[in-house]
């Protein structure tokens, strides 16, 4: 199989990053980085921030290089606003570092940041994403950045000059006059712990820094010893590029504009910190389709954990691996998830028979394993839509489910439901939590006698042919042949007849009749699955008066 690196974005970035790391820091571990803010539930869209460097780092690791994926938790950032659904009393914590804000009520975690980090940490583990988490609270409060902080403050005029290149020039003069002297370090008040502080003086010789706070507190500290404060974001980010020697770090499309933190950071890292900007692709927005309101996690945003409840980890990885970072896409929580799974199964069939295109094979490979090994998979991957239909009809009863799963293909030996897990569990979660009740299947309790009695002889004959054939066709393939075959039999055509427009109409009409008799509406799960799930005896009862 020929590998087309020119079309595989992961390989291409890995090539670039390895070459660049060789130029910048030969012999040192290659550093890829991501940053996440645990200011609330981490949105599924932000997974791209981690997945992009993960895939590149993993490729680099597969090639045998020493590589580290740093994940910065921006947990020393200020608490900006109280999200909907949280006690409004939390407003008193606005301005404090996220690690100093109490966790929402009922949480088992010690603070706000840890509370929102935890589900993401769990999701990343399930996704097979290896990283080194870096708490910015720990870094700042331990004094790890002391030299960088002192340097940035010493060079504040240079930083101000960089920022000035992007400031809007047409601001009213009075506003400019009112501007405070630029200072890139923000202390958290030692009394109220909020960042509503103003630096009133700074002595470069002694590093004596005086600030006042809106709470009334005023204090003079030594910046050379101070650890309760942080660099402002536009300085903080490039400082970390230099400190950590980051070679690869993506950023969202909102960072493309002139004056954005990525652009400004590129100049600050060079002019102030003597470092280099990472190779940093802009990644496009990841949207969500059809997330049911009822199951969006507290906070009302879909998280990676939500996606992992309806999709196996390799599928989630695949969504990101198969598209270049600059391509936007949607993660489906609605009926489309079934199509995602169909596409995945089709790709696996192509891989099995050797007809997959190289770039698709690579994306698949990145989805199912990492350098550390394969991710858990479902031993017998029955079609997701089939599993969803089975759970829909059986409401998840394990005995019935196993019976139906076995009937799907009598040749395939399914010893226990564990062999169709975890895919079964994901499909079950999806149908139960994401599919609205009016789209769920309800098998009729009793035959629709009135409808049956209103049928003409030909229609009754079609039901007879179907019920007579059930036992000899009792498998997914067999019943598929039967339901398509009955209209052929009635038209006197051999079973292998290619569908004509007339035949298609007859089949559609027959299917609609079956749906009405079985589930009371004209559509539903695929008929062969529905018949298997309902069971032969009950089908016979529902199709006769």
Q: Which tokens go with 2?
A: 């020929």
Closest CB to Zn ion among residues 191, 372? 191
Q: How far is the CB of 193 from Zn ion (least distance, A)?
A: 7
In the block, tokens 């609330």 appear at 40
CB 17 within 8 Å of CB 30: yes
Nearest to 247 by CA among 458, 53, 460: 53
- Choose the stretch contacting Zn ion; rule: CB under 5 A; options: 15-23, 73-81, 184-192, 303-311: 184-192
Q: What is the DSSP code (8-state) at residue 356?
A: -
- Choose the stretch contacting Zn ion; rule: CB under 5 A; options: 66-74, 188-196, 240-248, 389-397: 188-196
Closest CB to Zn ion among residues 84, 191? 191
Q: How many residues bind Zn ion (CB under 5 A)?
A: 6
Among 120, 192, 368, 527, binds Zn ion (CB under 5 A): 192
Q: How far is the CB of 189 from Zn ion (least distance, A)?
A: 3
> Could you give the CA distance from residue 455 to residue 274 in angstroms, rounded to a whole number?
84
Q: Is 199 in the site for Zn ion (CB under 5 A)?
A: no
Among 86, 94, 215, 451, binds Zn ion (CB under 5 A): 215
Q: Map the footprint of Zn ion across residues 217-236, applying CB under 5 A.
A: 217
Q: Which tokens go with 497?
A: 């007849």
Q: How far is the CB of 215 from Zn ion (least distance, A)?
A: 3
Q: SS3 string of 300-345?
A: CCCCHHHHHHHCCHHHHHHHHHCCCCCCCEEEECCCHHHHHHHHHH
Facing residues of 229 across strands? 187
Q: Which tokens go with 542?
A: 């529902």
Alpha carbon of residue 89 to chain centroid: 31
Closest CB to Zn ion among residues 215, 417? 215
Q: How far is the CB of 209 from Zn ion (least distance, A)?
A: 15
Query: CA-based diameter of the chain, in Å?
Result: 102
In 3-state terms the chain splits into helix, strand, coil percentages (rounded to 5) of 50, 10, 40
> Could you give the CA distance from residue 256 to residue 382 in angstroms, rounded to a whole number?
43
- Choose the stretch contacting Zn ion; rule: CB under 5 A; options: 78-86, 178-186, 211-219, 257-265: 211-219
Q: How far is the CB of 214 from Zn ion (least distance, A)?
A: 6
Closest CB to Zn ion among residues 193, 419? 193
Enumerate the H helices of 142-277 as residue ranges. 146-154, 156-164, 173-178, 233-244, 261-271
Closest CB to Zn ion among residues 18, 189? 189
Among 19, 191, 222, 449, binds Zn ion (CB under 5 A): 191
Q: How far is the CB of 102 from Zn ion (least distance, A)?
A: 18
- The residues of the shown chain that bind Zn ion, judged by CB under 5 A, are 189, 191-192, 213, 215, 217
């Amino acid at each position: 199989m020929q590998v087309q690196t020119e079309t595989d974005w992961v390989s291409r970035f890995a090539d670039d990053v390895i070459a660049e790391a060789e130029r910048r820091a030969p012999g040192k571990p290659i550093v890829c980085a991501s940053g996440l803010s645990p200011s609330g539930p981490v949105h599924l869209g932000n997974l791209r921030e981690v997945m992009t460097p993960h895939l590149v780092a993993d490729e680099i690791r597969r090639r045998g290089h020493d590589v580290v994926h740093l994940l910065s938790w921006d947990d020393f950032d200020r608490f900006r606003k109280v999200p909907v659904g949280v006690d409004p009393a939390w407003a008193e914590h606005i301005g404090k570092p996220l690690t100093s804000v109490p966790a929402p009520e009922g949480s088992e975690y010690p603070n706000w940041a840890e509370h929102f980090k935890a589900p993401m940490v769990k999701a990343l583990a399930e996704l097979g994403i290896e990283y080194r988490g870096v708490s910015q609270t720990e870094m700042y409060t331990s004094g790890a950045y002391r030299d960088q902080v002192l340097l940035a403050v010493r060079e504040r005029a240079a930083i101000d000059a960089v920022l000035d290149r992007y400031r809007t020039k047409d601001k009213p003069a009075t506003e400019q006059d009112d501007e405070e002297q630029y200072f890139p370090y923000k202390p958290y008040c030692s009394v109220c712990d909020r960042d509503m502080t103003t630096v009133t003086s700074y002595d470069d010789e002694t590093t004596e820094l005086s600030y006042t706070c809106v709470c009334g507190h005023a204090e003079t500290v030594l910046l050379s010893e101070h650890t309760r404060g942080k660099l402002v974001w536009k300085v903080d980010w490039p400082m970390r590029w230099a400190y950590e020697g980051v070679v690869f770090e993506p950023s969202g499309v909102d960072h493309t504009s002139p004056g954005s933190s990525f652009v400004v950071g590129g100049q600050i890292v060079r002019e102030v910190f003597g470092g280099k900007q990472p190779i940093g692709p802009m990644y496009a927005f990841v949207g969500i389709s059809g997330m049911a309101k009822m199951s969006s996690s507290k906070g009302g945003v879909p998280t990676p954990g939500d996606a992992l409840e309806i999709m196996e980890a390799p599928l989630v990885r695949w969504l990101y691996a198969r598209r270049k970072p600059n391509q936007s896409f949607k993660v489906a929580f609605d009926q489309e998830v079934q199509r995602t799974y169909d596409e995945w199964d089709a790709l696996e069939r192509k891989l099995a028979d050797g007809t997959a295109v190289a770039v698709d094979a690579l994306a698949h490979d990145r989805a199912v394993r990492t350098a550390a090994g394969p991710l858990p998979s479902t031993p017998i991957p029955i079609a997701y839509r089939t599993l969803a239909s089975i759970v829909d009809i059986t409401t998840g009863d394990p005995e019935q489910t196993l019976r139906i799963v076995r009937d799907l293909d009598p040749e395939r030996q399914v010893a226990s439901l564990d062999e169709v897990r975890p895919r079964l569990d994901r499909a079950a979660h999806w149908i139960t939590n994401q599919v609205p009740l009016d789209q769920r299947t309800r098998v009729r309790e009793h035959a629709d006698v009135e409808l049956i009695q209103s049928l003409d002889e030909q229609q009754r004959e079609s039901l007879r042919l179907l019920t007579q054939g059930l036992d000899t066709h009792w498998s997914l393939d067999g019943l598929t042949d039967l339901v398509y075959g009955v209209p052929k039999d009635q038209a006197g055509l051999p079973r292998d007849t290619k569908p004509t427009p007339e035949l298609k109409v007859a089949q559609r009409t027959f299917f609609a009749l079956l749906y009405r008799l079985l589930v009371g509406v004209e559509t539903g799960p695929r008929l062969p699955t529905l018949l298997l799930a309902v069971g032969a005896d009950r089908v016979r009862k529902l199709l006769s008066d």
